[in-house]
């Protein structure tokens, strides 16, 4: 789950990680790179365990953000790809692909 173009020590979560479990220790960081869709909505179900890093801005336009393990526990990263027509009036009725990763922090 690492990428040679990412900073050293930062894991990269991609669409290939769909349904997997990510094991972290407190302080670990990871970047989310869900290419293929332009508008991904990211949600962490328990932000006390994992939250957006203090350095959420990423210089890589393919990444949706950087996250840090903050406390021991279990959470999920959920993402939904929204097509650009979802903001139209009326919005389109296209099914958006969903993405899920379970995160366990020790």
Q: Which domains does the chain have, with CATH numbers?
A: 11-105 (2.60.40.2020)
What percentage of the chain has pLDDT greater than the value 70? 83
The answer to whether the CB of 48 falls within 8 A of the CB of 39 is: no
Q: Which tens digit of pLDDT belongs to each residue from 23-75?
A: 999 999 999 999 765 688 899 999 999 999 876 556 677 788 999 999 999 99
Render 20-83 in DSSP notation, one character per residue.
-EEEE-TT-EEEEE-TT-SEEEEEES-TTTEEE-TT---S-TT--EEEEE-SSEEEEEEEEEEP
Taking phi over 0 as left and psi of -120 to 50 as alpha, with beta for the rest, 65 belongs to left
Q: Distance between CA atoms of 106 and 87, rounded to whole angstroms?
A: 39
Pairwise pLDDT comparison (94 vs 49), residue with the higher score: 49
In total, the chain counts a number of residues equal to: 106
Which of these, 70, 72, 69, 68, lies nearest to 106 by C-alpha position?
A: 72
Give the pLDDT of residue 19: 96
Place of tokens 């969903």: 98
């Amino acid at each position: 789950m690492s990428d040679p173009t990412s900073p050293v020590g930062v894991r990269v979560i991609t669409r290939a990680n769909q349904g997997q479990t990510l094991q972290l220790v407190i302080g670990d960081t990871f970047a989310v790179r869900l290419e293929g869709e332009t508008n991904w909505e990211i949600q962490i179900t328990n932000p006390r365990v994992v939250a957006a890093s203090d350095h959420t801005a990423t210089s890589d336009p393919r990444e949706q953000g950087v996250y840090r393990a903050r406390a021991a526990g279990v959470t999920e990263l959920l993402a939904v790809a929204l097509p650009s027509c979802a903001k139209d009036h009326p919005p389109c009725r296209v099914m958006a692909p969903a993405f899920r990763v379970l995160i366990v922090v020790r």
